[in-house]
Amino acid sequence: MCFEAPSMAMEKYSSFSKSSKQFLLSAPIDKSSNSSDKCCNGRAAKCELVDYDSLPEFLKDNEYILSYYRSEWPLKQTILSVFSIHNETLNIWTHLIGFFIFLMLTGYAASIFPAVSNGDPQLQLSAAGNSSNIFYIHRANQTTEPTASSSSQVIGSELPRWPFYLYLAGAMFCLLMSSACHLLSCHCSKTSYIMLRLDFAGISGLIVSSFYPLVYYTFTCNPFFRDLYLASITFFGLATVVVSLMPVFDSPQFRPVRAVLFACMAASGMVPIAHKMMAFGHRPEAMLTTGYEALMGMFYGVGVVVYAARVPERWLPGKFDLAGHSHQLFHVLVVAGAYTHYLASLVYLGWRETEGC
């Protein structure tokens, strides 16, 4: 994610009541940014990397990263800098590679679980198990045999796949917006403002869409709790996106608040997980998915702590400017957490493909 970027001249936003325009998706004017002639005068001008003290105010965020900054580059050079070395290179590529990984995973999942059920869930589970060995679903492990009516219910109806694919879409949107934000935000203050809002929306989208396979497939047979949990997290996500429209939301001073807000939204998933374990704790699928979710929570939790604390660059300023700083580590942990939830989502989908209600 790119949400550790700019402060829009914080003194202008010390009060939320100065202007209602603060709550709209429009970039405030940053008079301290005058597009100085670092790169914009003539085709022969060289786009140079600058140090932290040379940055306009809207690009100043992490004072422990001292150099290798792009500052107000023309759009063409900004886009082409995806292939050059600077302090955002690994931030861009960690999530861009993650995007392509999830794109391939989506294709792989589509080959196992087509968009429309073909009425032969056992065949699909067998193919999936032979390919990835992630399914812990065997009828021999059940304490009772399924009734004829439940079997016919599975085979005779189409299990919705959209919650599973919604999660994959949410993950890809988050990763792509994060990469684009890190790539383009140095162009100008307006671009930075817009890209940050898209990045915040991507983070919210990843968190919200993560709930859908968990809740929809766990509570397929209990529509009341299914709809209650899904409506709650969707509202929470939309509210977070609205709050993120405030310019103060992307300020460095607001970093801990951002971390806590997104962490709390993700942590609200503990409620349906606890409900799942109370209702289905005897099932191997429930145990396996909860294990995946605990691992996912560990990845995300460590990532949030590293992001908020800005370590290790806090300990050795300037030594991690190009590689190894907190935001890069945060990105890797986000991809790991998202992949872990992908594995859990496959189990959820396979469970309902096999069992029905």
pLDDT of residue 92 exceeding 80: yes
Dihedral sign for Cα atoms in the order 281, 284, 285, 291:
positive
Q: Report d(CA 60, CA 69) in Å as an integer.
A: 10
The verdict on residue 25 lying in a domain is no
Q: pLDDT digit string (tens) for 299-314?
A: 999 998 999 899 999 9
pLDDT of residue 56 exceeding 80: yes
Nearest partner of 157 among 303, 352, 348, judged by Cα: 352
The two tokens of residue 134 are 């992630």
The two tokens of residue 133 are 């060995």
Burial 205-225 (b: 16+ CB within 10 A, else e): bbbbbbbbbbbbbbbbeeeeb
**pLDDT band at 158, cuts 50/70/90?**
confident
Q: pLDDT digit string (tens) for 184-239?
A: 999 999 999 999 999 999 999 999 999 999 999 999 999 999 999 999 999 999 98
The verdict on residue 14 lying in a domain is no
Under 8 Å between Cβ of 209 and 184: no
Q: pLDDT digit string (tens) for 159-190?
A: 899 999 999 999 999 999 999 999 999 999 99
pLDDT recorded at residue 133? 41
The verdict on residue 256 lying in a domain is yes
Average pLDDT over residues 77-97: 97
The count of other CB atoms within 10 Å of the CB of residue 37 is 10
Number of structural domains the chain divides into: 1
Q: Report d(CA 177, CA 5) in Å as an integer.
A: 14
Average pLDDT, rounded, for the chain: 81
CA distances from 123 to 117, 132, 142, 144 (A): 11, 15, 18, 21
pLDDT recorded at residue 127? 42
pLDDT recorded at residue 157? 60
Q: Report d(CA 78, CA 47) in Å as an integer.
A: 9
Helix (H/G/I), strand (E/B), else coil: 50:
strand
Burial of 284 (0-12, 13-18, 19+ CB in 10 A): middle
For residue 237, the enclosing domain spans 90-355
The two tokens of residue 237 are 């996500």
pLDDT of residue 134 exceeding 80: no
The residue ranking higher by pLDDT, 299 or 13, is: 299
Average pLDDT over residues 46-50: 86
Q: What percent of the chain has pLDDT over 90?
A: 61
The verdict on residue 37 lying in a domain is no
331 is in an annotated binding site: yes
Average pLDDT over residues 320-336: 97
Q: Cβ neighbours of residue 15 under 8 Å, at least 6 residues apart?
A: none
pTM above 0.85, yes or no: no
pLDDT recorded at residue 3? 54
The verdict on residue 230 lying in a domain is yes
182 is in an annotated binding site: yes
